[in-house]
Amino acid sequence: MKKYYSIAIDGPSGAGKSTIARRCASAFDFLYVDTGAIYRAVGLASLRAGVDRKSASEVSGILPGLAIDLRYNDSGEQRMFLNGEDISDAIRLPEVSICASDVSALPVVRSYLLEMQRQIARTHHVIMDGRDIGTVVLPNADLKIFLTASAEARAQRRLKELREKGIDTDFQSVLQDILYRDEQDSTRETAPLRRAEDAVLVDTTELNFEESFSAVSQLILERFFTVDTVEKETI
């Protein structure tokens, strides 16, 4: 059976995981899988259905009616579809971020999405980013990275991103959003956000994008592309 390589990048919201992972995927020819987008799809569906997002029975009631589909366009960009509708932009709205965090705390949602994520990694070389990729989804990933930054630095970056998309908001509300999600994502009982013991910590508080990208690329190069690694793997 062909061996597919996997890189797990976990960390809190706004640490730069998706931008860095996407760029590394294209540089090293891996498939980028943004697992947060999958939770966002469920968050958006629960918002639209008007169900109580903290109620396992209400949210599990809508799951069978959801056809969540990850597709890639010609430039390798991940697009999310929900029952045939392209929801890639809708899931980025701040209110959907909170809904995604709420529904992601429910074990029924996590187990529903687990197999979908593993199946992609069984059939592609992947860089997968999320909260529990190195701890739960791909515990045997070939490389695990825990990417983090201070809450303030993350809020500043997220604010810039939202403003560039024309979403009108301010620093305090973005920071509150981040703190709410940090707390909820790391204290939930099922698959909380935490660094896997064998994950390499990369703190980007003091790094700009290029420096962060370079730090992560270096880890990938060392793990997969040095002569030493190639020799070890062919022995």
Could you say whether residue 132 binds ligand DC (CB under 6 A)? Answer: yes
**Could you tell me if 8 and 128 are in contact, meaning their C-beta atoms sit under 8 angstroms apart?**
yes
CA distance 155 to 203: 15
Q: Which is nearer to ligand DC, 92 or 229 (CB)?
A: 92
From residue 95 to residue 114, the character string flagging contacts with ligand DC as x (rule: CB under 6 A) and all else as - is: --x--xx--x----------
From residue 176 to residue 195, the character string flagging contacts with ligand DC as x (rule: CB under 6 A) and all else as - is: -----x---x----------
What Å distances lie between residue 211 and 116, 146, 217, CA to CA? Answer: 33, 16, 10
Question: Of 142, 152, 129, 117, which Cα lies nearest the Cα of 198?
Answer: 142
From residue 32 to residue 71, the character string flagging contacts with ligand DC as x (rule: CB under 6 A) and all else as - is: ---xx--xx-------------------------------
Q: Which is nearer to ligand DC, 18 or 220 (CB)?
A: 18
CA distance 152 to 114: 31
Q: Which is nearer to ligand DC, 137 or 225 (CB)?
A: 137
Rounded least distance, CB 132 to ligand DC, Å: 5
Q: Which is nearer to ligand DC, 147 or 220 (CB)?
A: 147
Instruction: Give the bridge partners for 200, in sequence order.
Output: 145
- Residue type at 148 in one-letter notation: T
Q: What are phi and psi of 208, to 5 degrees?
A: -85, 180
CB atoms within 10 A of CB 67: 11
Q: Which is nearer to ligand DC, 30 or 102 (CB)?
A: 102
Could you say whether residue 154 binds ligand DC (CB under 6 A)? Answer: no
CB atoms within 10 A of CB 5: 17
User: What is residue 33's three-state secondary structure?
Assistant: strand
Q: Which range binds ligand DC by CB under 6 A, 60-68, 124-132, 144-152, 202-210?
A: 124-132
Residues near ligand DC (CB under 6 A) are 13, 35-36, 39-40, 97, 100-101, 104, 130-133, 181, 185
